Homo-oligomer: A and B are copies of this chain.
Amino acid sequence: MPAAFPLPQLDDVLEAAARIAPHASVTPLLRADALDAAAGCALLFKAEPLQRGGAFKFRGACNAVFSLDAEDAARGVVTHSSGNHGAALALAARLRGIPCHVVVPDGAVATKLSRIAGFGAVLHRCDATLEAREATCASVQEATGAVLVHPYADARVIAGQGTAALELLSQAPALDAVVVPVGGGGLAGGTAIALAGLAPAVELVLAEPAGAADARDSLQRGERVPTFAPDTLCDGLRALLGEPNFRILQAHAPAVVAVEDAETVAAMRSLLAELKLLVEPSSAIALAAVLAQPARFAGKRVGVVLTGGNVDPDHLPWGQA
């Protein structure tokens, strides 16, 4: 875990938006009559699967990479992530023309690794433990001087992820609530900062797998759960809530809805059938949270951030008839 740093503020999110504008997509807002009818509310989907790299993660990675001064940038960046953050950082580094190192645990999915390598990053394999990942990361830093860009416990990353909420607020006026998934808390933290600064009346609701509900538990206890064993299909939401992310969320006090994986898979299928969008389980959970609590959302205008769509079409989590 990186050293403590000042929590990002609204200005950091606004600066991130300007910084990433030449590189990132303004993703469209999508709607589907049938999903509105099923949910009993107006659903405005922020379609981050259509972001470059296929996930919102490019926002934070791009902000981090283009925040670096020339000297730091020349030494490159490093992270540990076999998922969307690794690919996003690799893409951002390629756009800036600097080296990128990604530490990947043994057993990571080959297609995900080839995406990261496809964006030009150097892969460094290690054992599949948190200790091994951090040690390998540290040794890459020492050897190369590369700057660590943590997947979520990083002020530049949090500010970058908050730009999705900025866009959502401008595309969808008069929202009553915004629902985002929570894992490490980069997106949740950035969204909380954007809403607190620009639309404090909009309720923030976090969707979290029932089998990885450490954010809910941490916020309930008022103290960050230090460790847990995730058990969920949502591979993007297995991380422990970051320490700075926890502090941001504690100040905002969002609601957290815990969702069973079966509800998430059903929502993923509905999003494909009705919105025509392929999303990861870690995204579909946001719709599942709305459908799980109809009374909370009835009649409201609800922004839903669909975070990523990097799914293998040959391995969809429901049966083919």
Residues of A with Cβ closer than 8 Å to B?
A: 25, 28, 30-31, 33, 49-50, 52, 54, 269, 272-273, 275-279, 309, 311-316, 318-321
* Closest partner residue, chain B, to A312 (CB atom): B273
Whether B33 lies near A309 (C-beta < 8 A) is no
Whether B49 lies near A276 (C-beta < 8 A) is yes
Instruction: Give the complex CA separation of A188 and B182 in angstroms.
Output: 45
A28 CB contacts on chain B under 8 angstroms: 28, 30, 50
Whether B319 lies near A314 (C-beta < 8 A) is yes
Whether A276 lies near B273 (C-beta < 8 A) is no
Number of copies: 2
Instruction: Give the complex CA separation of A318 and B30 in angstroms.
Output: 27
A49 CB contacts on chain B under 8 angstroms: 276
* Closest partner residue, chain B, to A320 (CB atom): B320
A50 CB contacts on chain B under 8 angstroms: 28, 30, 275-276
Whether B309 lies near A314 (C-beta < 8 A) is no
For A318, give its contact among B276, B277, B313, B321 (CB under 8 Å). Answer: B313
Q: Which of A275, A276, A314, A316 has the most CB of B within 10 A?
A: A276
Whether B314 lies near A320 (C-beta < 8 A) is yes
Instruction: Give the complex CA separation of A46 and B311 in angstroms.
Output: 22
Instruction: Give the complex CA separation of A269 and B320 in angstroms.
Output: 15
Supply 7 A–B pairs (Cβ within 8 Å), ascending by A. Answer: A28-B30, A28-B50, A313-B318, A314-B318, A314-B319, A316-B320, A319-B320
Q: Which of A275, A278, A319, A321 has the most CB of B within 10 A?
A: A278
* Closest partner residue, chain B, to A25 (CB atom): B31
* Closest partner residue, chain B, to A34 (CB atom): B118
A25 CB contacts on chain B under 8 angstroms: 31
For A315, give its contact among B52, B279, B312, B321 (CB under 8 Å). Answer: B321
In the assembled complex, how far is the CB of residue A227 from the closest CB belonging to chain B, in whole angstroms? 34
Whether B52 lies near A313 (C-beta < 8 A) is no
